[in-house]
Amino acid sequence: MPKVVTKETLDAMSNFQVRDDDVIVASYPKTGTNWLLEIILKIRRAARERQTELCEDSVMFGPMELKIPSMPQPGYIKLAEMPSPRIMNTHLPIQFVPPGVSKPQNKVKVLVPMRNPKDTAVSFFHFLNKMMPLENPGKEIVLQWEEFAQDFINAKVGYGDFCDHVLGWWKMRDDPHFLFLKYEDMKKDLLSAVKTIVAFLEVDLDESTIKGITEASTFNNMKADLDNAELVERQAIARKGIIGDWKNMFTPEQNEAFDAWYEKKLAGTGITFDFE
Ligand code: A3P
């Protein structure tokens, strides 16, 4: 686990009360969490314009399990005080999340973004390098890609092994409370992805509204907002937003090692990824 997830936090997860109208994004870091959160928010905002009796959402962008020194309370305590309906996220593997997230009941909705492991690793590496100086003021800590790439496939990064994480959530693929979305599919056809999310959230929107949400959710349009966000962590999110950036970082040897690792772990599971 990353330093900002403590034993106390993990213990608290079993008592965290999930509410019937919660929407949760459950993801491995850097797989498109914030993209999905933004789309959900935009969809619900548009729904409220049509149905004025709907209440405004409470949203928390930081994962529920985080206990960041600069924040007075861990995410899950803050969330417990927020009015419904809530939109939240977690990066925890399925075995650590509150029972109401791993075995959702009633109208709870869980969205799981997935992204190819090579681009995920590259995105994670750049994000951590941006965060390091903030979390370790005065110290000059710079991650090296060579070492990070090795650590990634050896499960020595925050939140552990990418494949185990994905496989844990994938077990829920036939449960109607869950929606799995691949980053690469969203990049290739965002309009279809937005329509799928609209249907999953059981919201009724017309075609032109859906197109407007899609346009507002493209990388360039979202980057403009994220770059001006209040929180430094959010300013670091929109980096390149492409499929295949791994080609700019991977050596042929790293590529072979990643292929061997994920192909072995994911063989026969039905999970496949696009790498370009
Ligand atoms: P890159 O670092 O490869 O650019 P998360 O939200 O889970 O931390 O994921 C962050 C990744 O999603 C970053 O990837 C970021 O650029 C990408 N991303 C954010 N908004 C996006 C959008 N609207 N379209 C495509 N990618 C987006």
In order, the DSSP letters of 103-114 are S--TT-EEEEEE
Q: Which atom of ligand 1 is nearest to the CA of 187?
A: 25
Q: Among 26, 66, 86, 88, which residue's Cα sits nearest to residue 233?
A: 66
pLDDT of residue 231: 82
pLDDT of residue 174: 98
Q: What percent of the chain clears pLDDT 70, i.e. is strictly above it? A: 100
Residue type, 122: V
Q: Please give the average per-residue pLDDT across 103-116, as a whole number.
A: 98
Q: Which atom of ligand 1 is nearest to the CA of 238?
A: 16
CATH number for the domain formed by residue range(s) 7-116+160-237: 3.40.50.300
Using the mean position of ligand 1's atoms as its centre, give its distance from the Cα of residue 56 in Å.
25
Question: Would you place residue 232 in the very low, low, confident or very high pLDDT band (cuts 50, 70, 90)?
Answer: confident
Residue type, 171: K
Question: Would you place residue 61 in the very low, low, confident or very high pLDDT band (cuts 50, 70, 90)?
Answer: very high
Instruction: Report how far residue 9's alpha carbon sits from residue 11's, in angstroms, rounded to the nearest whole number.
Output: 5
CA angle (65 as vertex; 22, 2 as ends), nearest 5? 145
Cβ of 244 below 6 Å from ligand 1: no
Cβ of 119 below 6 Å from ligand 1: yes
pLDDT of residue 74: 94
Cβ of 34 below 6 Å from ligand 1: yes
91 labelled catalytic: yes
pLDDT of residue 216: 97
Please enumerate in sequence order all residues whose Cβ is within 8 A of that of 266, keeping only pairs 6 or more positions apart, or say none.
163, 166, 167, 272
Q: What percent of the chain clears pLDDT 90, i.e. is strictly above it? A: 88
Domain coordinates in residue numbering, the chain: 7-116+160-237
Residue located nearest, by CA, to atom 17 of ligand 1: 241
Best mutation site among 30, 243, 249 for ligand 1 pocket (most ligand atoms within 8 Å of CB): 30
